[in-house]
Amino acid sequence: MWRLRVLALGAVPGRCPGCLRVSMFRGFYELHETCRSCGVRYEGSDGAWLGAIALGYAIGALFVVALGMAELVWGPIRALGLDPLWTIAIASLPVTALGYRPAKGLWFALLYLGGFVVPDGIAEGDPP
């Protein structure tokens, strides 16, 4: 049950997966090196952010598929007199960009649950 709590309360809002109290983010996309409250180190390895990029792209791709299916079934974009291909392509850019922050929070929560993001002084791979 605590794993669901970490995912729900930590991942999407971008809170620390260790304590669920403070934000992981210094800016819109930039992470703090460690949590100010519990000491969880976010920047553990060089490739730790690659999964977050994949999740961010997946959010954008799901949006494109959903909007494309809605256009095929109901045709709301064409009814407005817009070109569906360009409208979906242009609309997917901000969705992908805005989906990256929750994707990064989700990815680091998953890394925490797997024991790859740990407080300073604890070895990687140990359970949280």
pLDDT in tens, 79-110: 999 999 999 999 999 999 999 999 999 998 99
Specify the higher pLDDT residue, 92 or 127: 92
Per-residue model confidence (pLDDT) at position 119: 78
89 is a domain residue: yes
67 is a domain residue: yes
Segments forming the whole domain that contains residue 67: 47-113
Average pLDDT score over residue span 57-84: 96
Look up the pTM and report it: 0.81
98 is a domain residue: yes
Per-residue model confidence (pLDDT) at position 45: 65
Specify the higher pLDDT residue, 47 or 12: 12
106 is a domain residue: yes
Instruction: Give just the sign of the alpha carbon dihedral 104, 108, 113, 115.
Output: positive
127 is a domain residue: no
Average pLDDT score over residue span 54-82: 96
Q: How far apart are CA 41 and CA 70, in angstroms?
A: 42
Q: How far apart are CA 93 and CA 96, in angstroms?
A: 5
88 is a domain residue: yes
pLDDT surpasses 70 at 125: no
Beta-bridged to residue 23, according to DSSP, are: 15
Per-residue model confidence (pLDDT) at position 66: 97
pLDDT surpasses 60 at 34: yes
39 is a domain residue: no
Number of domains in the chain: 1
84 is a domain residue: yes
Per-residue model confidence (pLDDT) at position 63: 96
